[in-house]
Structures are given as structure tokens and as C-alpha cells.
Amino acid sequence: MSDYAIKTVNLTKRYSGLWSKTPVEAVKKLNLEVHRGEIFGFLGPNGAGKTTTIKVLLGIIYPTEGEAYVLGKPAGDPSNHYNLSYLPENPYFYDYMTGEEILTFYARLFGIPEPDRTKRVRELLDRVGLSRAANQPIRTYSKGMQQRIGLAQCLLNDPQLLILDEPTAGLDPIAHIDIRDMILDLRAQGKTLFISSHQLSDVERVCDRVAILNRGEMVKLGKLEELLSGGHVELIAEKVNEGVLEPIRNLGGRASLHDGRLIVEQPDDGTIDRVIDLVRSSGGHVISVKPYRRTLEDLFVETIQGGNRQ
């Protein structure tokens, strides 16, 4: 069994219009490895190539160059689809059907026989909190309820891999938290989740690793904690003598004094103890020492804006 839930090798997707001479490269030589059992955030601005990549992984479109593997088999292999599920952005279902009918319909697509089908459908309606609305037509569902029914249809086959496109977009805070909790619950069950989202705070809370795409190219990939750690420690002290600034700067840190309050950004290389000693020996009082951590939003903006300036 492959260690990777998803693997792409130099995956390239080019769209060439009927009349345009220059093809548009939606995805450029993408190399991606998503490990089994992790929650992987797939980020990027609009038009970065995220949805195109997902469509290739699902076999809805075909790569121009390169290869894509899902659960160890070539992307699009229908036998794979018993073990994966997909929730598109703003999912639309046959809205004349009730919640129970739509899940029964998808269960039939999976070939789940009766009586397991009815049992599974009812279990999932209960799990996503829609048992009471089971016999209501989907067109009467709120956005949050539609997203829940979308997630329920993803779970019918008890998949190993879930590909979720903007699972929390447009939801109210309560529905947002519900969906996020369900995602964490799925990880606890050992599922692999591949999440494309603009909701960076959600990604930051749930994902183990992220990749950032820009203009079809991968510009950042790594463990979230490593990407977000700023590599320095922030120290705040007061009642500090101005003469201490120079020795601190000599240790490699950036120190500044504002209204008697010292703020130091020191590289996280073990020298912070010496900075604390210097502050104390100068009669200063250390208020806080904390490792600096960027937010995912900071990282995203830096990465995308930095890339766009090049």
C-alpha cells in the first residue's frame, strides 16, 4: 500500500482555447505528496490552480503532462472512487429530493445494498444533525444544512480520503464550528483530508501540513508549525537602561526602546538567556518572553505578494 494518499509528479494542466494561440497553464509541474492520515491544506488565491488540481485528482479532467496518483492508483481510476469522497465548493444537489432521498441516491451510486443503505443513511443523517430535517426537500435547507448534507454524502462510503473544497465557506459561526469539529473527528478516525480553503483561520486550526499555490505553481509546502514559527523570540522589558541596547544588538537581535519599554526580537538560537541577563543586570524588569509565531494569514500574504512582485 502506498504511503501517500495523493501524489503528483510534475503535474501540468494547460488549457488551450479554440482561437487563442497561447495556452493557459493552470497548473505547472506540481509535485505534491499527501500522507495518509493527515489533514492537508491546499491554499492559494483565486485562479491559483487548486480546483484544477482537484479535478485532475478526481478524474474529471485529464493532465496535460505529468502524473497524479490517488490512494496508490492513477487519478481517475473508478475503482478508487469507492475509497474517496468529494465535497465541491457551494455544493448543489437535486433540490426536489429530501435529505434522506439524496443520501439514498448517492448510496445507490456506491452500490450499497439494502438494508445497509437505509441504515447507513439514517446513521449519517443523525451524525450531521439532520435527522429532523430528513424528510424536508433540500431546497428548504439553509446553507449550513446543505453543507452538512454535502459532508454526509461524503461519508456514505466510509472513505479513506476526503477532498473538501471550501467546506466552511459562507457558514454562520455555529455551523462553521460544527463542520470544523466534524473534520477533526474524521482525522481522529484516521481519515486523510485534503482541504482547499480560503478560510485561513480554519486551516490553521485543523491542518497538519499546507501547500500554497500561486499562478499554478507551488510556492510553499511544509508542516504548519514549521512554516508559522518565525525563527525568533520576542522579549518585552521595562525600566531598562538605554545603554543595554548596544550589547543586545551585538548578540544579533533587534532591540528598540519606546517610552522606557524595551522590545527585542532575538533569533531563536539560545542567546535569549544572555539577553535576559543583560536586561536584568541593567536593572530592567522582564515582562514577557515568547516565541514569535506568524499567523497563516501573514504567511499567505507574504508568500503571495512576494511571488507576485517577482
In the complex with other proteins, the residue whose CB is nearer, 146 or 303, is: 146
With contacts defined by CB under 8 A, name the span among 94-102, 188-196, 234-242, 248-256 that binds other proteins: 94-102
How many other β-carbons are positioned within 10 Å of the β-carbon of residue 85? 23
Residue whose C-alpha cell reads 481519515 in the numeric block:
191
Taking CB under 8 A as the criterion, the residue among 62, 74, 132, 231 binding other proteins is 62
In the complex with other proteins, the residue whose CB is nearer, 60 or 177, is: 60
Contact of 214 with 231, CB cutoff 8 Å:
no
Measured CA distances, 8 to 87, 163, 205, 230 (Å): 20, 15, 26, 29
| By the rule CB under 8 A, 91 interacts with other proteins | yes
Shortest distance (Å) from residue 166 CB to other proteins: 12
In this structure, the dihedral spanned by the alpha carbons of residues 27, 32, 38 and 44, taken in order and rounded to 10 degrees, is -30
| By the rule CB under 8 A, 88 interacts with other proteins | yes
| By the rule CB under 8 A, 148 interacts with other proteins | no
| By the rule CB under 8 A, 146 interacts with other proteins | no
- Here's the x/- map for other proteins, 8-47, by CB under 8 A: it reads as ----------------------------------------
Number of residues that bind other proteins (CB under 8 A): 32
Helix axes 116-127, 143-155, angle to 10 degrees: 140
Taking CB under 8 A as the criterion, the residue among 12, 66, 97, 204 binding other proteins is 97
203: closest CA among 216, 194, 192, 191? Answer: 194
Q: Is the peptide bond before 167 cis (omega within 30 degrees of 0)?
A: no
In the complex with other proteins, the residue whose CB is nearer, 96 or 291, is: 96
| By the rule CB under 8 A, 302 interacts with other proteins | no
Taking CB under 8 A as the criterion, the residue among 147, 153, 192, 282 binding other proteins is 153
Burial class (CB in 10 A: 0-12, 13-18, 19+), 201: middle
Shortest distance (Å) from residue 53 CB to other proteins: 14
Burial class (CB in 10 A: 0-12, 13-18, 19+), 137: middle
246: closest CA among 289, 287, 284, 275? Answer: 275
Query: Alpha-carbon torsion 11, 297, 145, 96, what sign?
Result: negative
| By the rule CB under 8 A, 78 interacts with other proteins | yes
In the complex with other proteins, the residue whose CB is nearer, 140 or 281, is: 140
| By the rule CB under 8 A, 108 interacts with other proteins | yes
* Residue ranges binding other proteins (CB under 8 A): 55, 58-62, 78-79, 81-82, 84-88, 90-94, 96-97, 105-106, 108-111, 150, 153, 157, 163
